[in-house]
Amino acid sequence: MKHIIILGDGMADERIAKLNNQTPLEAANKPYIDLIAKKGCTGLFHTVPEGFKPGSEIANMCVLGYDVRTEFEGRGSLEAASIGVNIMPGEMAMRCNLICVQDGKIKNHSAGHISNEEAKELIEFLQAELGNDVFTFHNGISYRHLLIMKGGNKQITCTPPHDVPGTPYKDVLVKADKPEAEDTAQLLNSLILRSQELLANHPINLERIAKGKDPANSIWPWSAGYKPAMETLNTKFGIKKGAVISAVDLIRGIGVYCGLKPIIVDGATGLWNTNYEGKVQAAIDALNDGCDFVFLHIEASDEAGHEGDFE
């Protein structure tokens, strides 16, 4: 039997006054989703266990049948798997956003959705200037990158930047949860401040400002963890051949640990201008090519939600 999960990340959202108190999904023209709901079985699924903050990493792992209380080790470790970075013993992985800070406040979590090419140049610049025996920067996609810290202690509180737009960044710097993590927090905060000094006048950012775009003038590391120990879906559920289709490193990394083959689709961006048709065709091709399970992830709805852009 063939199985496919189509995951509309963040699609449910909340009720919007301008939509007559409907959610964006209720207001949308979606005849095929309506048809599936009418002819199929529907229900409610709680994807975020008590005690966890809602986020794509937690929800997607839960959808795939994992117990995040024992198997989750932070976004960074999952994204590392997607881009082929092997986390070694004694290393801590973190998501590293390129963000925009304006007047001392976090303007947005994505530096205006900076392009892959611009971001790659900035990450390579940061690695050359700040990379050392403790910290290593690895390039990802758009604003989403990876920071590896040797000897880091994950008992820290790091605020996801998409949760706090408009907040003074100094109010949400890294905090140690335990005294033994204080050195880790201080090193990370020093790295953030140093990145701001270096990025302020980088040619990429000067050019973006001249064009009226948001500069990528700070890094923001968060979601720390070590290498996870996750069983494959084959071991858990007997899924012998499966694939994951997503433009997001986080989801592809989850897929790698699940034992799924990541399928890269040209033009898949993780934004609302993504190649929807190409992702659908890739899913059909995978099912016809012997896969008995496909996880097809749509990020556009989640990004629109973070931007507050229900339209």
- Number of residues that this document lists for the chain: 311
Say what the pLDDT of residue 249 is.
Answer: 86
Model confidence over 181-208: pLDDT tens digits? 999 999 999 999 999 999 999 999 999 9
Model confidence over 130-187: pLDDT tens digits? 999 999 999 998 999 999 999 999 999 999 999 999 999 999 999 999 999 999 999 9
Share of the chain above pLDDT 90, in %: 82
Q: What is the mean pLDDT of residues 295-302?
A: 94
pTM of the complete model:
0.75
- Cβ of 281: how many Cβ atoms within 10 Å? 12
Say what the pLDDT of residue 53 is.
Answer: 84
Sign of CA dihedral 55, 57, 60, 61: negative
What are residue 106's phi and psi, to 5 degrees? Answer: -70, 110
Q: 3-state secondary structure string, the chain?
A: CCEEEEEECCCCCCCEHHHCCECHHHHCCCHHHHHHHHHCCCCCCCCCCCCCCCCHHHHHHHHCCCCHHHHCCCHHHHHHHHCCCCCCCCEEEEEEEEEEEECCEEEECCCCCCCHHHHHHHHHHHHHHHCCCCEEEEEEECCEEEEEEECCCCCEECCCHHHCCCCEHHHHCCEECCHHHHHHHHHHHHHHHHHHHHHCCCHHHHHHHHCCCCCCCEEEEEEEECCCCCCCHHHHHCCCCEEEECCCHHHHHHHHHHCCEEECCCCCCCCCCCCHHHHHHHHHHHHHCCCCEEEEEECHHHHHHHHCCCC
Say what the pLDDT of residue 221 is.
Answer: 97
Average per-residue pLDDT for the chain? 94
Taking the C-alpha atoms of residue 282 and residue 279, their distance in angstroms, rounded to an integer, is 5
Say what the pLDDT of residue 40 is.
Answer: 95
More confident residue, 249 or 100: 100
Model confidence over 12-45: pLDDT tens digits? 888 999 999 999 999 999 999 999 999 999 998 8
Q: What is the mean pLDDT of residues 237-255?
A: 93
For the cut 90, the answer to whether the pLDDT of residue 270 exceeds it is: no
Q: How confident is the model at residue 307 (pLDDT cuts 50, 70, 90)?
A: confident
Model confidence over 225-238: pLDDT tens digits? 998 889 999 999 99
Distance of CA 43 to the CA centre of its chain: 26
Question: Which amino acid, residue 259?
Answer: G
Q: How confident is the model at residue 120 (pLDDT cuts 50, 70, 90)?
A: very high
Say what the pLDDT of residue 191 is.
Answer: 98
**Residue closest to 270 by CA, chosen among 285, 251, 286, 254:** 251
Say what the pLDDT of residue 76 is.
Answer: 86
Model confidence over 53-90: pLDDT tens digits? 888 889 999 999 999 998 888 888 888 988 889 999 99
Say what the pLDDT of residue 297 is.
Answer: 97
